[in-house]
Amino acid sequence: MMKDIQKFWQARNWMKSNESFLTTWHAHVGYKLDLFDSFAEGEKVEEVAAREELNGQLLLRWVEVGLEVGHLKKTITGKIKPKKKMLKYVSAKSKDSVGILLREMMELHIPTLMQYPDLMQNNEQISYLEDKFANVVAETSALLEKASVPPMMKWVGKYKPGHIVDLGCGYGGYLKKIRETDEKVSLTGVEISSEVAEEAEGNLRNDNITILNEDLEDYINKGEKVDMVMIHNLLYYYEPKEREELFKKVSSLLNKGGTVTVISPLTDAKHGQTFAAAFNTFMSAHENLFPLPTEKEIESHGKAAGLKVKMSKPIIKEGGWYLLGLQKK
């Protein structure tokens, strides 16, 4: 009898722990289908289903979950409205939206983690489809910029580089912020995804910023000298044994006293190790992604390339994201 009770309580605890997943699932569906906007003024479920051409029964189930987890509320007339926080933080139309993180988690990370039993049993890895998720990753990086721009701007202000290149620039958010404070600095972004590069060019067409749609290795091989290089969210695309060579190549681009900024989640850091462990798990499931670096590894690679770490700053503690700055001796 006691064992049956213990089994029941253990099962109950697991069910309760899954409530947070249900909350994330609900927010993700609402973000992807713009449902919080659809109900913004207060609507009947059947009205939204007809207008948006959605399955009415499934929409009703989504609404019921939303009422239970506190994302939605019902008016005295029976209409459904989202809570204000959902319109602010999950609506794709809001400038404060973090919905892209939900999409990356639910469409990229969790599906990969669910394959773990088969991958472990079959001793296999899957291939990360960079083209398929290029825009999702670029949007996530743009969200990360909001936390990292202030210390980045202090770094730029301190060293006053004349020419900056962002390797893997995404939508070019860092370059745009730098241009807003300095009209004279020469700015170049290098982006391998043609779709993302095209978006960046459109965003920056009036900012006198050069966007190159090419592989960063091709750019490095040109040998153009610059004063600052950004390698943000790139290290996990390189095998650990290849990273030292990457730092040496980046260092070869720099004028004397030039600097490098690195943004990455770090393992064995003071903050965010739960996320870092989960991120490493995701990386390891892929044949073309690699484990996260440690700060000591970056310091070692930098030293071998004639670079010295001058700054190490957590920018999103919960996620283990750090900004490191290195200078060429």
39 lies in the same domain as 166: no
Q: Is residue 151 part of a domain?
A: yes
Tell how strand 254-265 and strand 186-190 pair up.
unpaired
Q: Residue 1 above 60 pLDDT?
A: no
The parent domain of residue 299 ranges over 130-328
Last residue of a domain, one of 80, 96, 112: 96
Tell me the per-residue pLDDT of 14-57, one tens digit each, with 9 for 90 and over.
666 667 889 999 999 999 999 999 999 999 999 999 999 999 99
User: What's the confidence (pLDDT) of residue 15?
Assistant: 63
User: What's the confidence (pLDDT) of residue 317?
Assistant: 86
Q: What is the DSSP string of 23-75?
A: HHHHHHHHHHTTHHHHTTT-B-HHHHHHHHT--HHHHHHHHHHHHHHTSEEE-
197 lies in the same domain as 317: yes
pLDDT band at 5 (very low <50, low <70, confident <90, very high): low
217 lies in the same domain as 286: yes
87 lies in the same domain as 218: no
pLDDT band at 132 (very low <50, low <70, confident <90, very high): confident
User: For residue 81, what is the domain's CATH number?
Assistant: 1.10.10.10
82 lies in the same domain as 196: no
As a whole number, mean pLDDT of residues 271-293 equals: 92
Q: Residue 64 above 70 pLDDT?
A: yes
81 lies in the same domain as 141: no
User: What's the confidence (pLDDT) of residue 249?
Assistant: 96
Last residue of a domain, one of 42, 73, 96: 96
User: What's the confidence (pLDDT) of residue 14?
Assistant: 65
Q: Residue 129 above 70 pLDDT?
A: yes
DSSP state of 317: G
User: What's the confidence (pLDDT) of residue 3?
Assistant: 62
Q: Is residue 260 part of a domain?
A: yes
Contact 286, 133 (CB under 8 A): no
92 lies in the same domain as 231: no
Q: Residue 135 above 90 pLDDT?
A: no
Q: Is residue 181 part of a domain?
A: yes
Q: Is residue 107 part of a domain?
A: no
As a whole number, mean pLDDT of residues 85-94 equals: 93
Q: Is residue 63 part of a domain?
A: yes
Share of the chain above pLDDT 70, in %: 94
Q: For residues 308 and 299, give the distance between their C-alpha atoms in angstroms, rounded to a whole number.
A: 7
258 lies in the same domain as 316: yes
As a whole number, mean pLDDT of residues 99-116 equals: 90
The total number of structural domains in the chain stands at 2
155 lies in the same domain as 67: no
22 lies in the same domain as 138: no
User: What's the confidence (pLDDT) of residue 275?
Assistant: 87
Q: Is residue 118 part of a domain?
A: no
Q: Which residue type, as a one-letter code, is found at position 314?
A: P
User: For residue 265, what is the domain's CATH number?
Assistant: 3.40.50.150
As a whole number, mean pLDDT of residues 61-72 equals: 97
Q: Is residue 104 part of a domain?
A: no
166 lies in the same domain as 57: no
200 lies in the same domain as 323: yes
pLDDT band at 95 (very low <50, low <70, confident <90, very high): confident
Tell me the per-residue pLDDT of 226-261, one tens digit each, with 9 for 90 and over.
999 999 999 999 999 999 999 999 999 999 999 999
Three-class SS string for 225-248? CEEEEEEECCHHHCCHHHHHHHHH
pLDDT band at 88 (very low <50, low <70, confident <90, very high): very high
